[in-house]
């Protein structure tokens, strides 16, 4: 018996040792993979920097869950590319002799906020002043052509088309469905333009909502056309669009018509395009497939050109995505997460100023105020605070922005939406349809209220509306104090109305136009520093090592340097249409925000079409369509 016990202890020890060895090997592989990933691979003699954007531009890419990475291995990916990384990469490429040209591969590009696309476009202008920029796509839509217009050569597949349609479109209204289900949506709001709640109480948009949306879209569309015209003067964009909208179908192909109107320079497939790039950047040294050329992957180029670290430190705090209470990963603005990260950064004592980069539609009132309070605490330490607005800084995003000394935005920034709303669903109608009812007793008239089973009472409705009104008064007070405007004036330009950046500057919500780099320079000047002798310190969490490792194993990491990679789909009408999964993804996102969010919100849901839907919402929409057999 003693022998058996000793044998068991021995076998158990061997098992523990083997498990430890396996664990060490596993983490060794992770370390090796990540270490090898930090070494850039740039062809001898240089090549073409390839921006193969299979996804969207994002201020802060959302955290990927390890399970999602593994479960979607080999499936279609919607990557997110950090805007500042792309801009920095292009800035470095402009004067570096190793980069012979920049290639824009826009099949699969799903866009980003209009201001974000514009920022990359201006960076491409800087490259084009020194070397060729070549763009290729099977079909161009609004965001992809906005980028392509900044290229020195625009290529289009002969079977393709330029189908720019302008912003706007339909959104879902849920009142009819809620009525069928017997669900009552109790709505509380301040602001006649706060259209976020309309889908739950109306079957169509109100006249006020349509008027505000039409003004916003008209301004953004005007900015788009002006940018394209400035970047590509020879393109007869207005005449081309007039022909499309009037239904004048050319006798030639759509691609030939786009070329004749100056929108594109060359018609050719990927092989012909690759051969053209090879003339400039060189052909691969090894045996290559037709159309291959010396390529530099974006990820390799980013690693070869890290963020500078010389000079004084300017903190850059990113507030991106929905603002929520508590902690949240990258791509979502968790009030506690951001406040704690900023507090730790300020406590180090090395920051000389702070830039807050806002790209958010808002969300939680308390989450927004938590972030604002943290910024005000940094300000109390003597740090100048500059707000830099991205594509979207509305509602709670503007709440956060009131902490700044000055606000810098883009003319195409979507901002404002100074208003408050709340929605509480009750199910008395649903129960009645099922033959059910609810009853009970209360210690006070407010016990168990709001009652989801019996509905709300007039007293509860009045109480909640009073709370909404008080939050709105606080919101307008913050804006009035920050912008040095009378409260009555803020109320007049508030009411939940959404503004483009150019109009926001005219009415006093924005100080001037500029980029994130301009904001860092402004923060340096306010700290009495030379802008040329500072560097940004980004206050945010990086992608986890485990996720990066899994993406490498599954082939889902971005930045492939394969010059012959076939991205996107061949049919331009499929790739350029508003695909059902994107429409459903926006609806899923709206429903998730209403159901899972707090009862009282400062959120611009009318801004939902301003940026691509979140990858998680796209994945959920695709699962729903797959389950429905679509």
pLDDT in tens, 352-410: 999 999 999 999 999 999 999 999 999 999 999 999 999 999 999 999 999 999 999 99
Question: Does residue 19 form part of some domain?
Answer: no
Listed residues 506, 539, 572: the one ending a domain: 539
Over residues 468-523, the pLDDT tens digits come to 999 999 999 999 999 999 999 999 999 889 999 999 999 999 999 999 999 999 99
Instruction: Give percent of the chain with pLDDT exceeding 90.
Output: 54
Q: Provide the mean pLDDT of the chain.
A: 85
Q: Which helix (H) or strand (E) holds 238?
A: helix 237-245
pLDDT at 158: 95
pTM of the model: 0.85
Residue 574 predicted with pLDDT over 90: no
Cβ proximity of 495 and 418 under 8 Å:
yes
One domain, residues 445 and 475: yes
CA–CA distances in Å: residue 151 to residues 134, 303, 490, 615: 6, 24, 42, 28
227: confidence class by pLDDT, cuts 50, 70, 90? very high
Residue 110 predicted with pLDDT over 80: yes
Peptide bond into 266 cis (omega under 30): no
One domain, residues 329 and 230: no
d(CA 408, CA 527): 17
Q: Quick check: is 194 catalytic?
A: yes
With CA atoms as reference, report the closest residue to 141 among 103, 114, 172, 102.
114
User: Choosing from 131, 194, 294, 505, which is the catalytic residue?
Assistant: 194
Cβ proximity of 150 and 124 under 8 Å:
yes
User: Choosing from 395, 401, 557, 575, which is the catalytic residue?
Assistant: 395
One domain, residues 409 and 265: no
Which own/partner contact pairs does 450-456 have at CB distance under 8 Å and 24+ positions apart? Answer: 450/186, 450/424, 450/426, 451/426, 452/424, 452/425, 452/426, 452/427, 453/426, 453/427, 453/428, 454/426, 454/428, 455/184, 455/186, 455/426, 455/428, 456/186, 456/424, 456/426
17 vs 138 pLDDT, higher one? 138
One domain, residues 279 and 329: no
One domain, residues 126 and 234: yes
Other CB atoms within 10 A of residue 96 CB: 18
One domain, residues 299 and 316: no
Q: Which domain holds residue 323?
A: 312-539
**Where residue 514 sits, what CATH number does that domain have?**
3.90.226.10
Instruction: Count up the domains in the chain and report the number.
Output: 2
Number of H helices, E strands in the chain: 24, 22
pLDDT at 198: 83
Listed residues 539, 570, 597: the one ending a domain: 539
Question: Does residue 119 form part of some domain?
Answer: yes
Q: Quick check: is 395 catalytic?
A: yes
d(CA 324, CA 446): 27
**Residue 77 CA from chain centroid, whole number:** 16
pLDDT at 559: 46
193 vs 355 pLDDT, higher one? 355
Question: Does residue 219 form part of some domain?
Answer: no
What is 538-568 written as a DSSP string? EESPPPPHHHHHHHHHHT--S----TT---S
Residue 568 predicted with pLDDT over 50: no
One domain, residues 268 and 326: no
616 vs 77 pLDDT, higher one? 616
One domain, residues 118 and 68: yes
Instruction: Give percent of the chain with pLDDT exceeding 70.
Output: 78
d(CA 83, CA 298): 12
With CA atoms as reference, report the closest residue to 146 among 170, 167, 171, 168.
167
pLDDT at 509: 97
28: confidence class by pLDDT, cuts 50, 70, 90? low
Query: Which range, 11-20, 69-78, 418-427, is most confident?
Result: 418-427
One domain, residues 387 and 484: yes
Q: What is the CA radius of gyration of the chain?
A: 27
One domain, residues 532 and 587: no
Residue 44 predicted with pLDDT over 90: no
Question: Does residue 124 form part of some domain?
Answer: yes
Question: Does residue 182 form part of some domain?
Answer: no
Residue 213 predicted with pLDDT over 90: no
Decide: residue 227, CB within 10 A, 0-12 exposed, 13-18 middle, 19+ buried.
buried
């Amino acid at each position: 018996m003693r022998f058996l016990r000793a044998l068991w202890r021995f076998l158990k020890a061997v098992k523990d040792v083997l498990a430890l060895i396996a664990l060490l090997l596993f983490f060794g592989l992770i370390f090796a993979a990540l270490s090898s990933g930090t070494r850039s691979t740039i062809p001898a003699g240089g090549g073409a920097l390839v921006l193969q954007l299979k996804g969207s531009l994002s201020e802060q890419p959302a955290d990927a869950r390890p399970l999602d990475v593994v479960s979607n291995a080999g499936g279609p990916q919607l990557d997110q590319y950090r805007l500042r990384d792309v801009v920095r990469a292009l800035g470095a490429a402009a004067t570096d002799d190793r980069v012979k040209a920049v290639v824009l591969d826009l099949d699969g590009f799903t866009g980003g906020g209009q201001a974000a696309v514009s920022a990359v476009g201006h960076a491409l202008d800087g490259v084009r002043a020194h070397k060729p920029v070549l763009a290729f796509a099977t079909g161009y839509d609004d965001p992809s052509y906005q980028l392509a217009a900044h290229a020195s050569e625009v290529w289009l597949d002969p079977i393709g088309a330029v189908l720019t349609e302008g912003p706007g479109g339909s959104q879902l209204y849920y009142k009819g469905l809620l009525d069928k289900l017997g669900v009552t949506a109790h709505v509380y709001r301040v602001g006649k333009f706060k259209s976020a709640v309309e889908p739950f109480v109306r079957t169509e948009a109100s006249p006020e909502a349509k008027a505000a949306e039409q003004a916003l879209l008209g301004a953004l569309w005007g900015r788009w056309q002006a940018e394209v015209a400035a970047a590509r003067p020879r393109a007869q964009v207005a005449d081309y669009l007039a022909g499309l909208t009037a239904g004048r179908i050319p006798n030639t192909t759509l691609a030939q018509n786009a070329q004749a109107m100056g929108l594109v320079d060359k018609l050719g497939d990927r092989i012909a395009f690759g051969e053209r790039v090879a003339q400039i950047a060189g052909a691969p040294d090894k045996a290559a497939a037709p159309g291959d050329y010396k390529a530099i992957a974006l990820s390799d180029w980013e690693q070869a050109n890290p963020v500078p670290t010389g000079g004084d430190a300017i903190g850059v705090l990113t507030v991106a995505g929905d603002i929520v209470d508590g902690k949240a990963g990258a791509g979502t603005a968790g009030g506690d997460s951001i406040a704690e990260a900023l507090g730790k950064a300020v406590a180090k004592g090395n920051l000389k100023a702070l830039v807050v980069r806002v790209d958010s539609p808002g969300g939680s009132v308390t989450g927004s105020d938590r972030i604002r309070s943290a910024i005000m605490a940094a300000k109390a330490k003597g740090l100048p605070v500059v707000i830099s607005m991205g594509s979207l800084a509305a509602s709670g995003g503007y709440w956060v922005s009131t902490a700044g000394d000055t606000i810098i935005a883009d003319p195409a920034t979507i901002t404002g939406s100074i208003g408050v709303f709340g929605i509480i669903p009750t199910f008395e109608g649903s129960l009645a349809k099922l033959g059910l009812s609810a009853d009970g007793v209360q210690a006070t008239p407010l016990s168990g209220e709001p009652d989801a089973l019996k509905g709300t009472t007039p007293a509860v409705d009045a109480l909640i509306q009073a709370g909404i009104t008080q939050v709105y008064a606080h919101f307008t007070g913050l804006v009035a104090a920050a912008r040095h405007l009378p409260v009555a004036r803020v109320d007049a330009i508030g009411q939940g109305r959404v503004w483009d950046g150019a109009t926001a500057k005219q009415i006093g919500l924005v100080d001037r136009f500029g980029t994130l780099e301009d904001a860092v320079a402004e923060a340096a000047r306010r700290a009495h520093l030379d802008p040329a002798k500072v560097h940004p310190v980004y206050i945010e969490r990086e992608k986890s090592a485990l996720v990066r490792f899994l993406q490498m194993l599954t082939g889902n990491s971005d930045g492939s340097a394969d010059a012959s990679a076939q991205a996107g789909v061949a049919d331009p009408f499929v790739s350029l249409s508003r695909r059902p999964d994107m429409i459903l993804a926006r609806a899923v996102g709206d429903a998730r925000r209403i159901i899972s969010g707090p009862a009282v919100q400062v959120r611009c849901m009318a801004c939902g079409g301003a940026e691509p839907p979140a990858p998680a919402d796209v994945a959920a929409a695709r699962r729903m369509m797959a389950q429905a057999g679509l």
